[in-house]
Amino acid sequence: MDAMTTNSTARPAVSAVDFFTAKLAHQTDPADLAHARATGAAPLVVDVRSAAGWAQGRIPGAVHIPLAELTERIGEHAPDRDADVVVYCWGPGCNGSTRAALALALAGYSHVKELIGGYEYWVREGFAVASDAGRTRHAPDPLTAPVG
C-alpha cells in the first residue's frame, strides 16, 4: 500500500483550500514574476546562490546575497520589513530559496515569496538572464513554456 491509500481516511490538519491559498501567498513562478516586473510591481529579487552561480547567470536586476549572509545583509537592500521580496536558488532540486524565505520570515519580513523553479525555470521559460559575460535570452523550453 502506498501513502495515498494508507491514509485515505485520515483528516488533514489543514484544509486543501487553506493549504493552496497559503502556497499561492508565499510562492510565485517565473511567468508571474516577469509579469510583475513588466508592470512596475517589481519586488526585490534576491539570488541566494554561491558567487560561482551568480557569475554564471542570474535574473537581471536581482541582488546577490548568499544564503549564509542573508539575515545580516538583507537590510542593505530591504530596510522596510514590509517590502515585497522574492528569493531564488538554482531550481526545484535546491531548497536554498525555501531556507532563505523562512529566514526572512523569521526575521520579520512579512511579504516574502519563493520563486518556484528557481533560476533553472526562469531560464527554461526563456526570460532574459544576466551574467558576468553580459545579457542573453535562451529559447523557451517547450516543456515549460508553450511556444506559439
Which CATH number do you get for residue 91? 3.40.250.10
143 belongs to a structural domain: no
Catalytic residue among 62, 65, 89, 116: 89
pLDDT of 86-135, one tens digit each?
A: 999 999 999 999 999 999 999 999 999 999 999 999 999 999 999 988 89
Enter the C-alpha cell of residue 105.
Answer: 520570515
Asked whether the beta carbons of 56 and 49 are under 8 A apart, the reply is no
For residues 28 and 112, give the distance between their C-alpha atoms in angstroms, rounded to a whole number.
Answer: 10
Mean pLDDT of all residues in 65-88: 97
6 belongs to a structural domain: no
Parent domain of 104: 27-137
CB atoms within 10 A of CB 46: 26
User: How do 27-28 and 44-47 pair as beta strands?
Assistant: unpaired
For residues 99 and 114, give the distance between their C-alpha atoms in angstroms, rounded to a whole number.
Answer: 9
Enter the C-alpha cell of residue 86.
Answer: 522574492
93 belongs to a structural domain: yes
21 belongs to a structural domain: no
Asked whether the beta carbons of 97 and 91 are under 8 A apart, the reply is no
Enter the C-alpha cell of residue 34.
Answer: 516577469
User: Which residues are CB-contacts of 97 (< 8 A; sequence separation ≥ 6)?
Assistant: 48, 87, 88, 89, 114, 115, 118
User: Which residues are CB-contacts of 18 (< 8 A; sequence separation ≥ 6)?
Assistant: none
Q: Give the pTM.
A: 0.87
Q: For position 147, what pLDDT does the model report? A: 67
118 belongs to a structural domain: yes
17 belongs to a structural domain: no
89 belongs to the catalytic site: yes
Give the chain's domain count. 1
Q: Does the pLDDT value for residue 1 go beyond 50?
A: no
Q: Does the pLDDT value for residue 9 go beyond 90?
A: no
